[in-house]
Amino acid sequence: MRFRLITVFALVALTTAVSVSGIAYWLNRDAVLTRAQNSALADFRKSLGDRAGALPESPTCHMLRTSAAEMAGDSPGYQVVLVLEEDETSDAERCVEESDPRAFTMDLVPASLIEAVHTERSDPAGPPGTGGGANTGVTTGTGDATGESPGADPSHHLYWQRVVHDGDPYLVAGARVMEDGPTGYMLSSLAPERDDLNSLAWSLGIATTLALVASVLLAQAAAGTVLRPVQRLNSAARELGEGRLSTRLPVNGTDELAELTRTFNGTARALEERVADLRAREAASRRFVADMSHELRTPMTAITAVTEVLEDEVDNLDPMIAPAVQLVVSETRRLNNLVENLMEVTRFDAGTARMVLDDVDIADQVTACIDARAWLDAVDLRAERGVTARLDPRRLDVILANLIGNALKHGGSPVRVTVREENCDERPAGATASATDGSPTDSPTAAGTDGIGPATEPAVGVPAPRDGRRAERSGRRGGTADVVVIEVADRGPGIPQEVLPHVFDRFYKASASRPRSEGSGLGLSIALENAHLHGGRISAANRPEGGAVFTLRPVSYTHL
């Protein structure tokens, strides 16, 4: 914007200055040349009438030479040539006499001027000023002088023309004194007027340059006046976007920018109040959920104990009562799981969730998770023993239980769980167009290392080599550690495209017609939060051959 303002100011100033200077120059040029021309022509007309008109009817060449010298002497600054044409009746010869042959000869008189001088007027009584002729060099044209010379033939005018000779401008004029008398020509230099006009042009050029410089400085000042408030608004808007809702700007003046600043301050104030209200409501909601979960835990413990006793005695109960007891037992377990999940969510929201890290064999951990839930017959495990990573075993069990349980519930068995090591340099940059990623970022970040030498402790979720075979395998990959990747794939219908972006949302269920189902809608959300605690992410996608696949990939890694 600064550049555009300066450019516009400069163009306007330059156009205005050039236009004014051009008009002033041409007006002054016309005035200067007209004044000099009229003065020279008036002197020449008077001198021609006085000197040439006093000559006898048949003057000699000597008389013409004397008259030419006297005419040039009467008005310094111009030269004269007198021409007496040959007369057959009086046997007079043609005479061409110059006042100064070195300065002015007939060679400098344009042919068009000579022709105009010798052309008899068709209307002797007509007003003067209707002469003609052609231009020579950079001249303005030919014309006739105003008024008649004393003793001159009224059928002829005093004509003039501006010419350029050897780079200098001159005024050439000519007239016949009488029908059979001599013809006089005058040469007057316009060099002083040219020098004056050149000085004027230089002055106007300097004035134009100064006007351009002044306009640029004025544009710079104006741009600063306009852009400084805009820059302050930009900085304040950036601070507001970064979360500093108390940002305000001082208001100066009553112009549009001041009104814009007032509007910004009002918007920021309203936004701060709205966000504060939302934060208060969110905090109240979290406290309510936490308090409710905590208060429900004690009665749920008692109810669970009672339902377990009832479940043990269900075979001894009345067959009409047994189904109701089974329903109470299942719903109690479901309610107990919901309370536990709510308490876990409140820990994540409050930032109080902590991890207990240990070096865990991933294959053993997956096997234990499947065995504890009696899923061995429904899960196909593909994992190499000895792949060890440093993580929280309990939270990894929660992640696996949610992912595998979700696959068995919605995709059907067999569910394939694959554990592999992936070289850090080969990790994909992000999820594909058909996948959703629950991680807030997709960029790998080094944990516990500067990216140059060995780390003192393996990063969370990074394989921890325990034997020479693992160290040798890392050495073959150029010293870059592998990260553990766990994939859970099913052979079901897959995840609908409209559902895919929401699979990790809390309380989200794909089927709106089945709001009451066995799940609470918190499992995948809790799995994602646990992955984030490990510095990892979970992505969901549909496989080309059919079925859904959930991929747990830690994003923290180190060099070994």
**Average pLDDT value for the chain:** 75
Q: Is the pLDDT of residue 537 over 50?
A: yes
SS3 345: helix
Element (H, E) at 183: strand 183-189
Cα distance between the two ends of the chain:
52
- Above 50 in pLDDT, residue 466? no
What are residue 502's phi and psi, to 5 degrees? Answer: -115, 10
For residue 458, count CB atoms less than 10 angstroms from its CB and return exposed for 0-12, middle for 13-18, buried for 19 or more.
Answer: buried
User: 11 — phi, psi (to 5°)?
Assistant: -65, -45
Q: Give Cα 546 distance to the centre of its chain.
A: 45
State the Cα angle at 331 between 330 and 334, rounded to 5°. Answer: 90
> What pLDDT score was predicted for residue 84?
83
Least confident range from 123-127, 500-504, 553-557: namely: 123-127
The lowest-confidence range among 18-22, 195-199, 453-457 is 453-457
Q: Of 130, 158, 204, 125, whose CA–CA distance to 49 is shortest? A: 158
Query: Which three-class secondary structure string do you get for 448-503?
Result: CCCCCCCCCCCCECCECCCCHHHHHHHHHCCCECEEEEEEEECCCCCCCCCCHHHC
pLDDT of 187 > 60? The answer is yes
- Please name the residues in contact with 85: beta carbons below 8 A apart, sequence gap of 6 or more: 94, 183
What distance in Å separates the CA atoms of residue 404 and residue 510, rounded to the nearest whole number? 17
Which class for 52: exposed (0-12), middle (13-18), buried (19 or more C-beta within 10 A)?
A: buried
Map residue 143 onto helix, strand or coil.
strand
- Per residue in 30-75, pLDDT (tens digit) is 888 888 888 888 888 888 877 776 777 777 888 888 888 888 877 6
Residues 433-456: what's their mean pLDDT? 38
Minimum mean pLDDT range among 226-240, 300-314, 315-329, 442-456: 442-456
Q: What is the pLDDT of residue 489?
A: 92
Cis peptide before 414 (omega within 30 of 0): yes
Long-range pairs, 255-263, Cβ under 8 A, ≥24: 257/226, 257/229, 257/230, 260/229, 260/233, 261/229, 261/233
pLDDT number for residue 520:
65
Render pLDDT for 84-101 as a digit per residue (tens, 0 to 9). Answer: 876 655 555 678 888 888
Q: Which range, of 33-37, 182-186, 273-277, 447-451, averages the lowest pLDDT? A: 447-451
Give percent above pLDDT 90 in the chain.
Answer: 3
Angle between the N-to-C axes of helices 322-350 and 523-533, in degrees from 0 to 180, rounded to the nearest 10? 30
pLDDT for the residue 465: 44
- Residue with the larger pLDDT of the pair 515 and 319: 319
Question: CA separation (Å) from 481 to 335, 424, 530?
Answer: 43, 7, 22
The whole-model pTM stands at 0.47
Give CA–CA dist 379/395, Å, rounded. 20
Give the pLDDT band of residue 550 (cuts 50, 70, 90): very high
d(CA 46, CA 307): 141
pLDDT, tens only, 283-316: 887 777 777 777 777 787 888 888 888 778 777 7
- pLDDT band at residue 123 using 50, 70 and 90 as cut-offs: low
Question: What pLDDT does 477 receive?
Answer: 40
Q: Return the axis-axis angle of helices 393-410 and 523-533, rounded to nearest 10°.
A: 150
Distance between CA atoms of residues 130 and 253, nearest Å: 67
Predicted confidence (pLDDT) at residue 445 exceeds the cutoff of 70 = no
**DSSP conformational letter for 411:** T
The Cα–Cα gap between 25 and 27 comes to 6
Determine the pLDDT at residue 471: 44
Q: Tell me the average pLDDT across 531-550.
A: 88
- Mean pLDDT (whole number) for 100-105: 85
- Rg of the chain taking only CA atoms, in angstroms: 54
Q: Looking at the DSSP assignment, which residues form a beta bridge with residue 173?
A: 160, 186
Q: How far is CA 170 from the centre of its chain?
A: 59
pLDDT tens for 345-404 read: 777 777 777 888 888 888 898 999 998 888 888 898 888 888 888 888 888 888 998 899
Which residues sit opposite 445 in a β-bridge? 556
List pLDDT tens digits, range 202-213: 888 888 888 888
Encode pLDDT of 473-522 as tens digits.
444 444 444 688 899 998 888 888 888 888 888 877 665 444 445 556 78
Instruction: Give 451's pLDDT tier (boundaries 50, 70, 90).
Output: very low
In the block, tokens 């043990």 appear at 312
Q: How many residues would you count in the chain?
A: 560
286 or 10, which is more confident: 10
Paired tokens of 146: 């105003």
Report the alpha-carbon distance of residue 135 to residue 265 in Å, rounded: 73
Q: How confident is the model at residue 107 (pLDDT cuts 50, 70, 90)?
A: confident
In degrees, rounded to 5, the angle at the alpha carbon of residue 366 between the alpha carbons of residues 365 and 369 is 85
pLDDT of residue 488: 92
Q: Cβ distance 407 to 488 under 8 Å?
A: yes
Specify the higher pLDDT residue, 372 or 146: 372
The proportion of the chain whose per-residue pLDDT surpasses 70, expressed as a percent, equals: 77
Helix (H) or strand (E) run with residue 298 in it: helix 256-312
